[in-house]
Structures are given as structure tokens and as C-alpha cells.
Structure 1
Amino acid sequence: MPARTAPEAPLRRDKPTDEADPTEASDEQPRRAGHEDRATPGDHERHEGPEEPGEPAAPPSTRESRGADARALTQVLFKKFATLEPGTPEHARVRAALIEANLPLVRYAAARFRSRNEPMEDVVQVGTIGLINAIDRFDPDRGVQFPTFAMPTVVGEIKRYFRDNVRTVHVPRRLHELWVQVNGATEDLTVLHGRSPTTAEIADRLKIAEDEVLACIEAGRSYHATSLEAAQEGDGLPGLLDRLGYEDPALAGVEHRDLVRHLLVQLPEREQRILLLRYYSNLTQSQISAELGVSQMHVSRLLSRSFARLRSANRIDA
């Protein structure tokens, strides 16, 4: 009978020293996520911001690593920033480092406004102003993460830019805020009814007057002005400038009437009256002489003298 051999032990492979155990990684991840100063959901994405155009998207682990590094660097810089005297070169250097480290936060906030048809470089520049204001006002002793503190300031600065500088026609702030509510109510009612809502339905939903809804709709059109010479889309009609108004035949006489009024006040009162009777009341020289009780010849001389004075004082003919 053949001798029984002992069963072969399973081959054991030693793990490389630089490879982490999957079980250890799964246990460590929840603890690490809950230990990082109680960061709010989406804090990594909010701080890291979108990738630059044309660059391949980084893996989620890489983005989280960058966000963690940026937050750690920001905390270190703020601790040093609080101990420096404003106006010193070291203070300015640390401040510039804080701005550069948190620029992804500005790019993320600016990406929310891509639909406004504004150059993204301008929006980022405005958001950077909000970032600088947040850095100058941030107090790390309050226990708040800097991205959480800075995001409202950055977004508020960008919204203020769109409200005050981008609109072709400036509208009051209350009307602008109400316009946002009207847009939201319009979308909700469109989904609810399957059609575009009426003005009365929007007003009833927001508990406001229909006139305010109409004013908000007009305010929403003030972002971009349309040229009067632009052709109408779709109907093939000429531009609005060619369809509105007409040439007033009396327009050319406006300047002359203003000039005559200026010259008449320089004549004596009796000569002014003679000219009014002759050219505004259409009286003949004989009728004027009977009206004033002077001879017709004298009326003719006064008219000639008035014409000579008017011609000498006429700046256009001169």
C-alpha cells in the first residue's frame, strides 16, 4: 500500500511592501472622510473645481488628493498669514500664495455661469476679486473651512457683476430677484401643465400682481440689446429701423424756426409786430398801414430795414 503523503500547503505569496491591504483601505476610508474637519459634502469638488478645457479629466482619487493638499496648504498659510503684519513683503507673499492655491474654487464658481454668454476669463477675474475679499476677512479661529466661507463671497461678486455691468439696461435689484422667481415658476408650471403658463397663472403661483410678472419678463430681456438695423429672424422682413417712423417733412424747418425766433427778439417791438402781421397773419402792406395808422411807404421801409438787420445777424448766412 503506497504511503500517504501530507497534503501540500497552499502556496503563500507575500504582499509587496508598497501595496496596501484592500480591507485596510476600506476600513481607513470612512474614518478619514469623517476626520477631515467635518468637511461638507462636495467639498473636494468645490475646492478643486473643473478641469481646464482641453485637459483629460483626472481620476476621482487624484482630484480628492489635490483637494486635500490644497486644503492642507490653505490651513498652513492662514496660520502664518495671521501672524504677519499687513503691508510687509512677507504678508503680501503669503496672501498671493493663498490666492493662487484657491483659484480652483473660483473656476468652479465661474463654471455655474457658463450659460450667460460672457467670456469665462472675465467671470473668473471677477470671482477672484471675491476670493481676495474672502481671504482678507477670513478668521481661521472660528472653525469654518475656508471654501465654505469663501464660496458665497465669490458667487455674490459674480452675481453683482452680472447685475450691474452685463445688462444693457440696468434694472432694480428687487425686480432682478423677482425675475429669477418668475423663471422658476414658469419652468414648474410648464412641466405641470405641459404648456407655457399664462401670466395670470404665474402671478397666482407667486402671489403677485400680473403687472409685476410682465415687468419681470421685460427685465429679463435687458441682458442684450438688439440692433434696430438687424433683420428679423425667420420672417424675412427688413430691420426694425426700416419699419418704424417716417421722415417728417417739417423736420428741416426746425433749425430755421429756432433761428428766426432768436433774431426776432433783437428787433424793436413795432418792427416785430409788422413782421408778424405780414408773414404770420398774411396781411398786405396796405392792411398793415391801416392797422398801425402809418403810411404804406413807411411800412415798406420798416420791412426793408428789418430784413437788413436780420441778414446781418444771421450766423448761418455769415
Structure 2
Amino acid sequence: MNPKIKDLLDNVNNIYPGTVMTRVNGEETGELHIDQASQEILGQRLLIELENKTESDFLLGNELLKMLLTLNGITPQVFFALTFNDETLDEQLIQIATRMHRVVIHAITYRELAKQQITTLETANAYFAGLHEELTPETGEIDDESLWRLLMILDALAFADTINAQHFVSDLQRDYPLAYTAAKKLVQPILSADLKQARHIRHRIISLFTGVDEVLVQWGKPTINAKEYVTVTSVLSKRQLELPVNQVFTIFHSEMTDYQTQKTAYVGLSKTDTQNSFVVSPPENEADKPDFFKELYALKVSDLFRKLSLPYIERL
């Protein structure tokens, strides 16, 4: 393990309420896949595990940086409190939304890994070898792989922005022109944004949700509608936290189900950006619903999040 990665692990362990461990399995494959890193909670311990040794310092560094950003309250997280009661569809949407969220976070972590000289030419070779292994070249038509190409190329452009990678980017343009064109337009505002503050990061996450849906509409594909489906950590000022819920959020009835209660879901949308910020289930008895919502809207925002055991980030 690179000493810089060891220091990063120590920094995470100084904050994490338990112990974070790492394990690297397998051999070198020459292909880097971001998904080959996984996390497992074992009591008070959290294990970050890699499927193989290819660019293990880069992958471990990326996972540890993401943890550090989360633990320090810098990066908003995504939660999945709604369900379509269709396991396959839910899994697909979770995977897609997680990928979109990760693009924005990787714009931060990839930059830091390059700055710390963890990213090398070998890392780039392995990254793009892994990407080309996962994707098939476009045929000039929109197909079932188009969205997956878009998501992977978004991440690839965030990675390429941190290194001298023009020939890698040229390969993306050649093999995946439709996805590349869309991804370049979507990723540029992320790469040029100031991603040091949580509210700016949240804004870019939500903008990407919207942007991907706009591309899918142009392509004649079903949209993800992550603005309703995905709960994103709220970033609120001290003043907003003291306000009643009805001044900060609008609550509306969703066609989806509350995953936890398996009852009708109501979604709290931020009045600032109309993003899903929390999910509640009212009483089943119709006569009790008016009082439920009256009390909910009157709650202080900070009390609501405490009641829901839902984290939020206080804006500086």
C-alpha cells in the first residue's frame, strides 16, 4: 500500500465510528473497473475489498476519499426510500442513480488522486482498458446500451480531465460518438464548478439528474426521473433549519411505495430545486391524514429530519 493511501486510511479511521479495513484479492488483470471495489459492514468494522490487484492504490484511495468527504459532511449522499414494487426495475434505477451521483463525487476524488500522484499512466491505461472491455462500439443508432455508455463515459471524462489523456478521449469520440457528445455537454459544468461546498455539489448532482433525463428524451428512451425517485441529502442553512416544513418543502403524493413501510409514499420536495429530500407515510385512516400533514408542515425542519433519522448538511 502506498504510504499516502495508508495516511488516508488513518485519517478515515480517526473519524469513522469503528474500524475501516482493506483487503485486496486476486491478481493483476490490466483492467480497472470502478465496480470492483465493494464495502461490507462487519459489526463495528467496515471492510473495503477489491476483486483484484489492478491499480489497487487508486481504487482504495478513491473509496477512502469518498468516505472522508461523507464523514466530514461535504458530499450529499443518495438514498432509495421508494420502490416500484418491481425488484428488477428498482435495482436498475438504483444502479443508474448511483452512477450519476458518483460522477460528481469522482470529479472531486479523481482530481485529488491525480494531485497526490496516485494516478499514473498505468492507471489511465487500465481505466480505459476496463471501459472498452465493458462497452461495445456504437453502430450509429440508439440501442439498449446507450444509457450505460453515457454513464460510463461521463465518469471517463471526469477521470480524463485529471490527466494528459487526449488519445484516450479520441478513442471515446471514435467508438461512442453519440454517448460522447452527450456526456461532454453534461460533464462540462461539473468539471468547471467549485465543488468545495456541499450546496454546490448537490446542485451539480441534481443538474446531472435533469440533464440525463433530457438526453434520454432526445434519444426516445424512458427517463429515470431521479429527482422524484432518489432522496438526496439536504443542504440547509441555519435559518432554514429553524423554519417550519411548509416554508422549505412541498409534500406530494407519489405513485411509488415507501420501501420501509410498504405503504403509500408522500415525497418532500425542496422548494429550491424540487429534489426528493425525504419520504413519509401518512396514517392509513383517511380521517387521521389532515392532522398528520398539519402537524408535519408545522414542524421545524430540523425536528423533521431528527424525527425521520435522516441526515442533513448544515450550510456554512
Question: Is this a same-fold pair by TM over 0.5?
Answer: no
- TM-score by length of structure 1 reads 0.22
Instruction: Kindly indicate which of the two structures has a greater share of residues assigned to strand.
Output: 2
Normalised to the residue count of structure 2, the TM-score between the two structures is: 0.23
